[in-house]
Chains A and B, each alone.
Chain A
């Protein structure tokens, strides 16, 4: 029978739509309302010091829309008035300086696409498969284009003294978040950013100014940045001692595990994005990233690692950015065990979860970059599993 979607007159073809004054700031189609951040209430005591997750299964390409970038706060979202915004540089510098937002806007800017991944991303999966959905297992990551000032220019303005080997970055929020950053990194590629994807930073991402620490764990990217102190030693503050240190099986703990190792995940099919079309041509897609460079290659397996296929990379390949991969195949309707395996530009190959556990045990919480497995059944429904 002829398709009524073709043969009948649809209201949007027949009647006029909204005018240009209906939505001064656009919003997604009402039919795309599933693409939202979600949280896991049992994870934390309270939603103020908590996390929500990027809906990776709803996204494609490499850029995360600003409103879908995951949030992690330690004292809620600071509501900073830009007129009262100040950035101070103090400590072992020739000149202790205060900048207004207007001052900062007069420095030369750069544009870079970087991923930001929370060190705890996939942290719930150390002891085994827990959460059903890449949003929850891998959604503490986003990837946007930042516009900002090289941190180097501001440090040069203050004049770092010979003993100045470390930098303390501090936020203006209710937790006054702090992290120690080695001076080599600060002078290399860090940015003091005020735009994301072209528009002002969202409040939950640090409006008006945040630090960008490319490739390094997200907790160091201080939001609502208000102060940079130069010192001769690290500060060993709460977020680099009691948190964000990796406890190994022998009771010892790694500190200053800054770089995010190469990692990937298949975003579709996945538990929240099942195969609904039955047998035939099927698109497998996902993202891969490395805090140490680019991702020249991703392998995909359909049979739990018996056989691997090189995926097709698509989209620009930026340093320390998310990369998109695809693998298209004809599904015969039999169950699948899907995995992806990232290779980064240093030659590092993403390990299995068991390979990581053999070295670190199961208590690390942070830096779990092991290979993820999705089991897809005959109906196309997917589940988070672990395999031998």
Chain B
């Protein structure tokens, strides 16, 4: 019966494949949208200013580069202010953010470090990407001179230029990155297709022995289900426990609930319009700080309830010393304190690890504080 079934499956598969191919060809021909000579006449001409606003891309041959220049030291200043919070002062990276410097000579290693100096083929890619996507959370705000300066600093961090170097629209295309020659066009058609296009496929007795050589469970890096399944497990446990242990569980629950009996913090009033404006400004902070349901600590602590929260109060975040001291003194983030910190973090909390330079506009500061109040309500 099994053999007959297998034959039937094979025959059916062949017939199905043939029918499907025929159907596909038929549909393809029938559904084709027609071209019209000269186009459909839709859309309108793009104005020069409009093209200029969006056409900012840069190519290896220098196409698209704007006039401007920037030196290594200016680059360091801008980088420390706007980039170091994720990439580190020297491009070494914070947490899992991208490393930007070093790694030369590691591409054949078990763990290659792919940076601008070790891997990227073209400098134009650095300029283009920084200009279009950085800073993360505040894209398209850098001036051409700032982008030239950051790019010059990144070259310096990768030992490609000396510290007196100035990068400009004039000398840009003279700079070549060391790994350019090690890229080549996809060659799978030549190197892999001859191996993997196979006429004879073994179906029976293809090998004598099979051994398991590696188990994923050894690494144990698969995310566990948090919500539902743990709750299920708890419920199951509760369902099978004796009366005595159920009492224990109930007692624990009461203890856990106890903090709720503390005097409720009065919710601060906020201006919805100002809060909405603050949400936009907060985009600059979002790369490191999360708010809202399920917000987790990132490079910086999560900020739920921050207005009125104790300074350095989260147990699961590793604060710098100045925050730990403030926590030990029982200090809290009132609006005034938060405002001063947002205006000038390094003055307000000396030696803070937060590398954000601060918000210059008092209106932005007020707006961010109202936004932070609004997310808790």
Which residues from chain A sit less than 8 Å from chain B, CB to CB?
33-34, 38-42, 44-46, 48-49, 74-75, 88-91, 95-99, 103-104, 106-111, 128-133, 136, 149-150, 152-153, 156-159, 168, 170, 174-176, 178, 226-227, 229, 231, 233, 235-238, 241-242, 245, 247, 249-259, 261, 271, 294, 296-297, 299, 303-313, 316-319, 337, 343, 345-351, 355, 359, 362-363, 375, 383-388
Check B195 against A359 for contact (C-beta < 8 Å).
Answer: yes
A51 to B10, alpha carbons, bound, how many Å?
Answer: 39
Q: Which residues of B have CB within 8 Å of A343?
A: 201
Task: Jot down 5 A-B pairs with beta carbons below 8 A, ordered by A.
Answer: A42-B96, A237-B128, A253-B183, A310-B13, A319-B28
B274 CB-CB contact with A under 8 Å: no
Check A299 against B20 for contact (C-beta < 8 Å).
Answer: no
Size band of the interface chain B makes with A: 35 or more
Check A156 against B31 for contact (C-beta < 8 Å).
Answer: no
In the complex where A49-B136, A153-B35, A233-B61 touch, is A319 in contact with B24 (Cβ < 8 A)?
Answer: yes
Check B214 against A385 for contact (C-beta < 8 Å).
Answer: yes
Check A245 against B183 for contact (C-beta < 8 Å).
Answer: yes
Check A157 against B42 for contact (C-beta < 8 Å).
Answer: yes
B236 CB-CB contact with A under 8 Å: no
Which residues from chain B sit less than 8 Å from chain A, CB to CB?
6, 9-10, 12-13, 16-17, 20-21, 23-24, 28, 31-36, 39-46, 50-51, 54-55, 57-61, 63, 86, 95-97, 107-108, 110, 112, 114, 116, 119-122, 124-125, 128-129, 132-133, 136-137, 139-140, 182-188, 191-193, 195-199, 201-217, 219, 221-223, 228, 286-287, 296, 298-299
Q: Which residues of B have CB within 8 Å of A350?
A: 196
Q: Which residues of B have CB within 8 Å of A108?
A: 33-34
A312 to B11, alpha carbons, bound, how many Å?
Answer: 10
The one of A233, A258, A296, A309 that contacts B186, using a Cβ cutoff of 8 Å: A258
The one of A136, A254, A305 that contacts B187, using a Cβ cutoff of 8 Å: A254
Check A229 against B55 for contact (C-beta < 8 Å).
Answer: yes
A264 to B55, alpha carbons, bound, how many Å?
Answer: 40
Check A363 against B112 for contact (C-beta < 8 Å).
Answer: yes
Check B32 against A313 for contact (C-beta < 8 Å).
Answer: no
Q: Which residues of B have CB within 8 Å of A311?
A: 9
The one of B96, B140, B183, B197 that contacts A44, using a Cβ cutoff of 8 Å: B96
Check B43 against A157 for contact (C-beta < 8 Å).
Answer: yes
A128 → chain B closest CB, angstroms = 5
A159 to B40, alpha carbons, bound, how many Å?
Answer: 12
Q: Which residues of B have CB within 8 Å of A296?
A: 13, 17, 20-21
Check B216 against A307 for contact (C-beta < 8 Å).
Answer: no
A339 to B236, alpha carbons, bound, how many Å?
Answer: 35
A388 to B195, alpha carbons, bound, how many Å?
Answer: 20
Check B183 against A383 for contact (C-beta < 8 Å).
Answer: no
Q: Which residues of A have CB within 8 Å of B207?
A: 305-306
B61 → chain A closest CB, angstroms = 7
Closest residue of chain B to A39 (Cβ to Cβ) is: B223
Check B121 against A256 for contact (C-beta < 8 Å).
Answer: no
Check A242 against B216 for contact (C-beta < 8 Å).
Answer: no
B189 → chain A closest CB, angstroms = 9
A278 to B196, alpha carbons, bound, how many Å?
Answer: 37
Check A317 against B24 for contact (C-beta < 8 Å).
Answer: yes
Check B209 against A388 for contact (C-beta < 8 Å).
Answer: yes
In the complex where A238-B125, A308-B203 touch, is A317 in contact with B21 (Cβ < 8 A)?
Answer: yes
Check B182 against A131 for contact (C-beta < 8 Å).
Answer: no
Check B13 against A90 for contact (C-beta < 8 Å).
Answer: no
Check B9 against A310 for contact (C-beta < 8 Å).
Answer: yes
Q: Which of B39, B139, B204 has the most CB of A within 10 A?
A: B39
Q: Which residues of A have CB within 8 Å of B287?
A: 46, 48
Q: Which residues of B have CB within 8 Å of A34?
A: 228
The one of B185, B198, B222 that contacts A256, using a Cβ cutoff of 8 Å: B185
Q: Which residues of A have CB within 8 Å of B183?
A: 241, 245, 252-255
Check B51 against A90 for contact (C-beta < 8 Å).
Answer: yes
Check B129 against A299 for contact (C-beta < 8 Å).
Answer: no
Check B13 against A349 for contact (C-beta < 8 Å).
Answer: no
Check A251 against B108 for contact (C-beta < 8 Å).
Answer: yes
Check B197 against A297 for contact (C-beta < 8 Å).
Answer: no
Check A359 against B191 for contact (C-beta < 8 Å).
Answer: yes
